[in-house]
Amino acid sequence: MLDGLSFELLMAIVASMAPVLCFGLIMVFTRRSISASVTVGIIGSFLSWFASLYLFLHYFHAEEAVVFKGAWVVSASLKIPFGYYFDPHSLLMLMIVATISLVIQIYSIGYMAGDPGKSRYYAFLCLFSWSMINLVIAPGLLQLYIFWELVGVSSYLLIGFYFEKWSASEAGKKAFVMTRAGDIGFFIGIIILMLTTGHLSIAVFGNAAEVGNTGLSQALLTLSAILIFSGAVGKSAQFPLLTWLPDAMEGPTPVSALLHSATMVAAGVYLVSRIFPFYAASSTAMMVVLIIGTITMLLSSTMAMTARDIKQVWAFSTISQLGFMFMGLGAGAYFAGVFHLTTHAFFKALLFLCAGVFIHHFETNDFFEMSKAGARKMLIPMITVTIGVAALSGIPPFSGFFSKEAIMAGLAHKGNIWLIAGLLGAAMTAYYSFRVIFVMWFPKGEVEEHGHGHEGGHDDGHGGGRWAWVTEWSMLSVLLILGAITLVLGFFQKELEHFLTGHSAEHHGSQLILVLALGCALAGVILAWFEFGAKNAKQEGFLSRMKSVEALFSNRWYMDHAYRKLLDYVVYGGITNTFTRNDRVIIDGGIDGLCRFTVSLGRAVSRIQSGLLQYNLYLTFLVVALMGLYFLLV
């Protein structure tokens, strides 16, 4: 057994299993002691991060993908393997996930200070890290699916962390069920692939030559690709399953940063890019990805323009950036999609964590109120949030600029209409994100600088002033780290491209696209400046002059209403009601009726029983006499 245990495998096991061990430890032993749980959680994450770093560096120059796997479940000809698959793509994702998990656990020391459920929180974070890491390094689609589901469960648990709020537990349920709806397509797609080709290995579906050898007919390939994509639609909150993500912001902010922006929701993009050659083999499937990505990107950008809740803005921007990644992938720009995924993971985590600092400090989610309460006095968060927003809007030299530009080049390659949609999206992104920044930097109206004045009160609540610096710096240091990554990551485009694709193309976007993209972003920024930033701006968006459009945007295009109606009228009112009635009236009614019939028949027959003994005797005698006669005669 231990013969095959190389040091690399041991590190892989540490990377993937340390978090779940911590989950078990916290749930079983240290649930009562918060500090012990935090220590266990952070040690586990650190171990896992360290092992991931080792693997990343160790395999950085590996020629081929390294696979460890063994059969986990064997049932007749069905073999479900469990193992690890290390290639540049999975290593990159592993690094992203491990790093962000670690920094967020550190950040949460401060953010969750004083929360009685902190042990549970760390346990769930560990559960999430475990499932996400195993998802990322899965060697087969089925293992990916298994951890995909587990990621969904941890997301459910974390969104509903403040379970005493109805809205939070509602949101958790909604997230679970909506992503489940997509996952069912994913599951069916996997089964179809498994039954027709006999294997689900990523080594096969991630390799263009092998995909051709599977003997899959074009129709089945397209069908299964679209079905699998529906899983990605659910998990990455794409149209039409996008409304769960804004609601998921009910969870603690670090959770929003970890799950609902940087890693988990990117799993859908990861899935598509993971088996990209498989998708590339079906132009229809690629078109579906492109269309869904475009619709989502535009829809959610419009939603973000009217939101007043800072987390909602970031949530919508996450959806739209994910849509953007899908656009890139759908247009065939594999590297651009993955690169944007990478940069987005860091700057979006940064944005959420900054928002977390503000929310933690001002105890409101509304950025207009934060601004009035003096948000601009908090220099480090303000600077880092600005860096994040600049990256999000695609302003050079921040990382988002490079990745967006790469996607634009891909879109231009595909056709002008997609490029126009992309540019429109970029402009809207710049507009709504700088709207937030300008509002926060330049408060208008009366400013209550120390309106809340709860510096002291906060520290008391969080375990004494002596440890206040830990609380504060655990959060701020993470902001600085992520800010630094956001600043420099863009310059590693060539290296990353070489790492991922094995060759680094020339600067493949034309100058025109560069100018166009930048121009659109700047147009958005300038519009935002005149409406929110300039001295005599009223801080009202141009949308407020178009009431019906604003209502449409702020009601999320009435998608939630539609789902609510669907649930109420079709599921609850229609099917459930019919079935329940059928149970009560037809099945139970039938059986009860049969019983009642039997009983009443008995009643009717019992009339014969007069109760007088001698009638019974008469009858007995009569029967005996008749029988005697019968035997006598026959």
CB 367 within 8 A of CB 439: yes
131 token code pair? 């499932």
197 vs 321 by CB, closer to another protein: 197
CA pair distance 477, 114, nearest whole angstrom:
20
Q: Considering the complex, what minimum distance in angstroms separates the CB of residue 632 from another protein? A: 15
448 vs 583 by CB, closer to another protein: 583
127 token code pair? 């559960």
Q: Considering the complex, what minimum distance in angstroms separates the CB of residue 85 from another protein? A: 18
222 vs 300 by CB, closer to another protein: 222
515 vs 591 by CB, closer to another protein: 591
Contact positions with another protein (CB under 8 A) in 104-123: none
Task: For residue 575, give the amino acid letter.
Answer: I
Q: Considering the complex, what minimum distance in angstroms separates the CB of residue 100 from another protein? A: 23
Q: Residue 192, Cβ neighbours under 10 Å: how many? A: 17
CA pair distance 142, 190, nearest whole angstrom:
7
162 vs 441 by CB, closer to another protein: 162
What is the pattern of x (binds another protein, CB under 8 A) and - over residues 414-453?
----------------------------------------
41 token code pair? 């959680």
Task: For residue 282, give the amino acid letter.
Answer: S
CA 417 to chain centre: 29
The number of helix segments (H) and strand segments (E) in the chain equals 29, 2
345 token code pair? 């993971």
What is the pattern of x (binds another protein, CB under 8 A) and - over residues 178-207?
--xx--x--xx--xx-xx------------
CB 624 within 8 A of CB 631: no
80 vs 298 by CB, closer to another protein: 80
One of 163, 530, 558, 597 touching another protein (CB under 8 A): 163
DSSP string, 287-301: HHHHHHHHHHHHHHH
The number of residues that bind another protein (CB under 8 A) is 61
283 vs 620 by CB, closer to another protein: 620
One of 81, 160, 410, 422 touching another protein (CB under 8 A): 160
Strands 78-86 and 66-75: antiparallel
Is 632 a binding residue for another protein by CB under 8 A? The answer is no
One of 469, 491, 542, 621 touching another protein (CB under 8 A): 621
Contact positions with another protein (CB under 8 A) in 568-607: 571-572, 575-577, 579-580, 583, 587-588, 591, 595, 603, 605-607
147 vs 418 by CB, closer to another protein: 147
DSSP string, 11-30: HHHHHHHHHHHHHHHHHHTS
Q: Considering the complex, what minimum distance in angstroms separates the CB of residue 32 from another protein? A: 11
What is the pattern of x (binds another protein, CB under 8 A) and - over residues 57-86?
---------------xxxxxxx-x------
Q: Considering the complex, what minimum distance in angstroms separates the CB of residue 204 from another protein? A: 18
Is 150 a binding residue for another protein by CB under 8 A? The answer is yes
DSSP string, 26-88: HHHTSTT-HHHHHHHHHHHHHHHHHHHHHHHHHTTT-SS-EEEEEEEEEETTEEEEEEEEE-H
Q: Considering the complex, what minimum distance in angstroms separates the CB of residue 80 from another protein? A: 8
CA pair distance 146, 130, nearest whole angstrom:
12
Give the CA distances from residue 394 to residues 313, 335, 343, 423, in Å, rounded to whole numbers and listed in that order.
17, 17, 11, 11
From 152-160, 439-447, 480-488, 539-547, span contacting another protein (CB under 8 A): 152-160
CB 331 within 8 A of CB 414: yes
One of 68, 156, 335, 434 touching another protein (CB under 8 A): 156
585 token code pair? 């009236």
Q: Residue 553, Cβ neighbours under 10 Å: how many? A: 21
Is 56 a binding residue for another protein by CB under 8 A? The answer is no
CA pair distance 176, 166, nearest whole angstrom:
15
278 token code pair? 């498989």
* Cβ contacts of 205 within 8 Å, gap of 6 or more: 141, 193, 211, 275, 277, 278
* Cβ contacts of 614 within 8 Å, gap of 6 or more: none
547 vs 607 by CB, closer to another protein: 607
One of 8, 115, 170, 309 touching another protein (CB under 8 A): 170
Binding site residues, another protein, CB under 8 A? 72-78, 80, 146-147, 149-150, 153, 156, 160, 163-166, 168-170, 172-173, 176-177, 180-181, 184, 187-188, 191-192, 194-195, 571-572, 575-577, 579-580, 583, 587-588, 591, 595, 603, 605-614, 617-618, 621
